[in-house]
Chain A
Amino acid sequence: MKSRKQSSKTTQNAEKNKRSLLFGLGFGIVFGFLLHKGGATKYDIIVAQLLLTDFTVLKIMLSAIVTGMIGVYFMKSMGWIELSLKSGSVGKNVIGALIFGVGFAVLGYCPGTIAGAIGNGYLDAIVGGLAGIILGTWIFAVVYPKIKDGILKKGAFGDITLPRLLKVNDWVVVLPASALIVLFLFWIEKAGL
């Protein structure tokens, strides 16, 4: 403890930075492990979801959302954490998301699952997909100055949450939303999907 107190601010920052990198790596390892165990590192399962013949991907996402939402909003109401929200616009979240969706179906992986597919050994993910995603994000960086004040801001609505939009207490949305998602999952299972 004493030596830490004496150490300069820069080494403290370096230490903090190193810890942050290690935690990132650790969370990533668990995330990748779970994505593979869930089957989401496979083209066949991802595209079958988009063809609506296998609902594995949606089951993973929705159960992660319900679990995550309850815990994160609990920690928020205890004052332990702050939310980290992305501000939105029609240009970004409708047009950008549609472009993403087209790429999602053509590639058959998304940015997180392609990292998992690479770990799983799929060569189309390593040679084709990874190169493509890096190139695509780079093309965006090149055109960014031309669109940042135009289409990206079209229909901007800020970083609001559903409870703020509806002007209600967080739990007035969290609890019904959780119940609806769980009901939907039961319905999917009952339908044999």
Chain B
Amino acid sequence: METIISVLTDTFWSPYAAGIGIGILSWLSFFVSGKPIATSTTFARAGGMIENLITGKAEQRPYFKKIKLNIEWQWMLVVGVVLGSFLSAILSGDFQVGVWVPSLWASAFGDSASLRVVVALAGGIILGFGARFGDGCTSGHGISGTLQLAVSSWVSVIFFFIGGVLTAHIIYFVIA
């Protein structure tokens, strides 16, 4: 019993344990729901739902017609990710209170919360746009597509990392 509990309250597991767990989860997701794990379409649906609340006309956009603006399986999966991470963080005493600036960011750019939030907002806009432009994210292409050996997903994940590694080096070694 003690060991089972300490496994749950450990802040970190070996990355391989987490990865193998996600791999097994992908079997279940295919077997039970017939779908691969993916997340980024949900953010587009959320945007369309917000536009619908304001103007009521989001469903006229061809993209929202295509992805359909309803709360479905993947939407609940994203909600589940928030809950699961919260659960693990609380169990291991790792839940962060009042943290606006990650320490790596602070080491290069200082501890201004507003600077970090503005940059995160800009990064999010680029990421969200790119995720739908590329038809998938680190989950949908990076894990679920690659494990199915989809050519589209292997090409995507390679270019995710080319773009990400270059940009991270520019941010930390050129701008900082």
Residues of A within 8 A of B50 (CB): 134, 138
Give the distance to chain B from A172, nearest Cβ to Cβ, in Å.
11
Closest to B146 in A: A65
Q: Which residues on the A side are within 8 Å of B35 (C-beta)? A: 84
Q: Which residues of A contact B158 (CB under 8 A)?
A: 97
The majority secondary structure among interface residues of chain A is helix
Closest to A42 in B: B102
A14 lies within 8 A of chain B by Cβ: no
Size class of the B contact interface (CB-based, 8 Å): 35 or more
Chain A residues with CB under 8 Å of B127's CB are 100, 103-104, 106-107, 110-111, 132-133, 136
The reply to whether A86 and B140 contact each other, CB–CB distance below 8 Å, is: yes
Contact A37–B129 (Cβ < 8 Å): no
Which of A72, A83, A97, A116 gathers the greatest number of chain B CB atoms within 10 Å?
A: A97
A1 adjacent to chain B (CB < 8 Å)? no
Q: Is the CB of A63 within 8 A of B19?
A: yes
Q: In whole angstroms, how far apart are the Cα atoms of A22 and B58 in the complex?
A: 27
Query: Which residues from chain A sit less than 8 Å from chain B, CB to CB?
Result: 20-44, 47-48, 50-52, 56-57, 59-69, 71-73, 75, 80-89, 92-108, 110-125, 127-142, 144-145, 147-148, 152, 157, 159-163, 165, 170, 173-174, 177, 185
